[in-house]
């Protein structure tokens, strides 16, 4: 159940936040939010991470669909089990679908989160994907520690 809850929540928060940015900001506009820790800067990315592969964003929909299908396959097989892995899978699937929706509807992804002095710009789907990766790494580390102890 946690898998579906996280997936749907990520998709909803991601799409609502992107809609708010698209309707209330101009591309390139920056709004400081939380001192020097976070600012909103509206950017449209027609490529992949770090603005690579500009103009090829629609191809990443195929990658996202393949990834989501693989997650559902491995969940059905019982290879993704337990709270940590299901939460990780929920974040990963929600993030993949959130960005895929943008690519299908707009041929680009709306980015707007800039943390600290970083040059990188993200959206909620990207943050969810990062959270999913961190949870998978935690699962792997815990697994290794259990074998050692």
Q: Return the active site residues.
A: 111, 126
Give the C-alpha separation, 48 to 107, whole Å.
12
Question: Cβ atoms within 10 A of the Cβ of 38, count?
Answer: 13
């Amino acid at each position: 159940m946690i898998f579906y809850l996280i997936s749907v929540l990520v998709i909803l928060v991601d799409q609502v936040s992107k809609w708010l940015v698209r309707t209330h900001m101009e591309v390139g506009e920056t709004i400081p939010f939380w001192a020097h820790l976070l600012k909103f800067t509206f950017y449209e990315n027609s490529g992949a991470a770090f603005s690579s592969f500009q103009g090829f964003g629609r191809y990443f929909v195929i990658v996202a669909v393949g990834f989501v299908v693989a997650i559902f396959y491995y969940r059905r097989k019982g290879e993704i089990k337990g709270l940590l892995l299901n939460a990780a899978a929920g974040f990963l699937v929600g993030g993949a679908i959130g960005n895929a929706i943008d690519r299908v509807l707009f041929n680009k992804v709306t980015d707007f989160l800039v943390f600290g002095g970083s040059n990188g710009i993200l959206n909620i789907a990207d943050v969810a994907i990062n959270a999913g990766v961190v949870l998978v790494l935690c699962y792997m580390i815990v697994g290794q520690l259990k074998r050692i102890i």
